[in-house]
Amino acid sequence: MTSISGWAGTGAGLIAIGICAIAAGLVAHLPKWSHPWVHRFLIVGMYAGATAVLVTPIGEFARNLAETCAGWFGGFGSGLGKVAIVLAGFFILASVLIAVIKVPSAAAASLAVILAFLLSLEPGGFLHQFYVVTSVPGQQFAVALASWMGG
């Protein structure tokens, strides 16, 4: 990926995250019945934006930094690092899925960004497969949302 296309991809993801963050502050002005559906859209939008950022040079830098720090304690491939990333991934995934299905909130949208980052660090297994399956549509959604908003 060239640097220009890398920064353009970063822009699309950051625009999607920014749109969702601003919209989260404006939800209170909408009718009460629409809040759960808007929050669900924000959760999906934040996850999509985060997956779009993670395939760019900025996302690669963040993953490399996290893996370097985890390497001081054994890394994510084995030991305590793997246990920590798997437990955190499962708990945050459960929180986000429950929020999308049952109790959507703006806080769950912020958790969706963290979830995408955690799942990208997972070396294998169910969490890694979940990330692989959901990241490509998420990236396409973030690019479409950014271009629709004029980014």
State residue 62's pLDDT score.
87
**pLDDT at 150 exceeding the cut of 80:** no
pLDDT-derived band at 125, boundaries 50, 70, 90: confident
Of 102, 107, 88, nearest to 43 by C-alpha is: 107
Question: Using CA atoms, how far apart are residues 148 and 151, in angstroms rounded to an integer?
Answer: 7
What total number of domains does the chain contain? Answer: 1
Domain range for 10 is 3-148
State residue 134's pLDDT score.
84
Q: What is the pTM of this model?
A: 0.82
Q: Is 35 exposed, middle or buried (CB count within 10 Å of its CB: 0-12, 13-18, 19+)?
A: middle
State residue 143's pLDDT score.
73
Q: What does the pLDDT look like over 47-71, one tens digit per residue?
A: 988 888 888 788 888 888 988 888 8
Question: Using CA atoms, how far apart are residues 10 and 49, in angstroms rounded to an integer?
Answer: 9
State residue 2's pLDDT score.
55
